[in-house]
Amino acid sequence: MIVTEGLVKTFGKLVAVDGVSFTVNDGELFGFLGPNGAGKTTTINILTTLMRPTSGRALVGGYDVVSEAEKVRRIVGLVPQDITVDDDLTGWENLMLQAGLYHIPRSEARRRAAEVLELVGLSDAAGRRVETYSGGMRKRLELAAGLLHDPEILFLDEPTLGLDVQTRAAIWEYITRLRRELGMTVFLTTHYMDEADSLCERVAIIDRGKIRALGTPSDLKASLGGSIIDLEIVNGGSADVMSILGRVDAVRRVSLADGVYRLSVDNGEEGLPAILENLLRSGVRVSRVVMRKPTLDEVFLEYTGRKLRDETGSWEEAFRQRMIVRRMRT
């Protein structure tokens, strides 16, 4: 179990983590989503005792991360965002090094190492120096090292970033199995919304150090309303399409990007006819309509005002944010 209360971490003037509170239950698979620089890695660093919080409290497995750091270290596993396996050693030697750091006796270490290598598909490469590994292989070895001591709580910082589809799938399958069979608690950050959606029981969306939304993926999606409608218009003319759309009751939110109007609608099936009618009446002709259920991507956009993989501060993002019209409904 992980409990944080008002966690704050500042670097000089920058507030990297700004009053974060959440609880992760035993055996839960919890996803932490946020754009670059949101404070995800900093949060993980605090929870794994690498950094001290500026203020606030965090308990990991019942132990305080500041006053009982040593105990926390014993029960957590960390797969860091950056690759830290040693290039000059073989894959096997890297795991034996890890075993030494976690006081795993030799014979058990050998058995565990063979097991985790098999799992990440590196059994054949184990005798080779990591120098000769590809980026994906390094990442997999890093994961194997994090799992070696069979931690109670596993922290994964971008575990599947840069991996091919098959490996991602294999790793996810293993992580879900870990949780199911061993009851391991998993806290992870990812940039892949589809992964977070299908695998995490609950996700938190963090932006600029603050948690903006927290819940199950389906609840978060439902909070956006039932449907997303994309509209393209025949030569916009002089009509103010934004405000026309904004006046339709069913429409909760409109944004414009690359000539496509994106609408969040409570009930698309019933709302769409009204929307089209309103547009036609104002002389606006629609050339294309797509209606679908919202994904976590849209949830993300809704709560952070940006897409996940955008660079912070890009002109595109600034543009999109200006185009977002929020409509208050009561």
Partner 1 sequence: MMNLLMELQALVGRELRKWVRSPFLLFMTMVQPVIWMGLFGKAFNLTAILNISDDVLAQLPPYITSQLGEAFNSIMASLLGASGLDYFTYMSVGMLSIVVLFTSMSTGMSVAWDRRLGFLNKLLAAPIKRGTIIFSKVLSSVIRSVVQALMVMAISIAFGARYSLSSPISLPAALASLFLLSLGLSSLFVSLGVRLKSWESQMAVMNLLNLPLMFASNALYPIRMMPSWLQSIASVNPISYAVDAVRQSLLYGPAADPSKLLLDLGAVAVFAAAFTAIGVLIADRGLRRG
Ligand X SMILES: Nc1ncnc2c1ncn2[C@@H]1O[C@H](COP(=O)(O)OP(=O)(O)OP(=O)(O)O)[C@@H](O)[C@H]1O
Query: Which stretches of the chain bind partner 1, using CB under 8 A?
Result: 48-52, 69-70, 73-74, 76, 78, 80, 82-84, 86, 88-89, 93, 96-97, 99-103
| Total binding residues toward ligand X, as defined by CB under 6 A | 12
- Tell the smallest beta-carbon distance from residue 36 to Mg ion (Å): 8
Assess 160 for contact with Mg ion (CB under 5 A).
Answer: no
Give dist(CA 253, CA 242) in Å, integer: 10
List the x/- string, 42-61, binding to ligand X by CB under 6 A: x-------------------
Strand, coil or helix: 226? coil
* Contact partner, 39, from partner 1, ligand X, Mg ion, none, Cβ < 5-8 Å per class: ligand X
- Closer Cβ to ligand X, 5 or 310, answer by number: 310
Count of C-beta atoms within a 10 Å radius of residue 124: 9
> Token pair of 84, please?
């830290």
| CA 222 and chain centroid, separation | 18
Tokens of 245: 């759309």
Residue 113 zone, left/alpha/beta (φ > 0; ψ -120 to 50; rest) = alpha
Q: How many residues does the chain have?
A: 330
Residue 265 bridge partners (DSSP): 227, 251
For the bound state, the minimum distance from the C-beta of residue 292 to partner 1, rounded and expressed in Å, comes to: 41
- Which residues from 179-198 bind ligand X, rule CB under 6 A? none
- 16 interacts with ligand X by CB under 6 A: yes
Written as six digits, the tokens of 54 are 């500026």
Among 6, 25, 26, 36, binds ligand X (CB under 6 A): 36
Binding site for ligand X (CB under 6 A): 11, 14, 16, 34, 36-42, 81
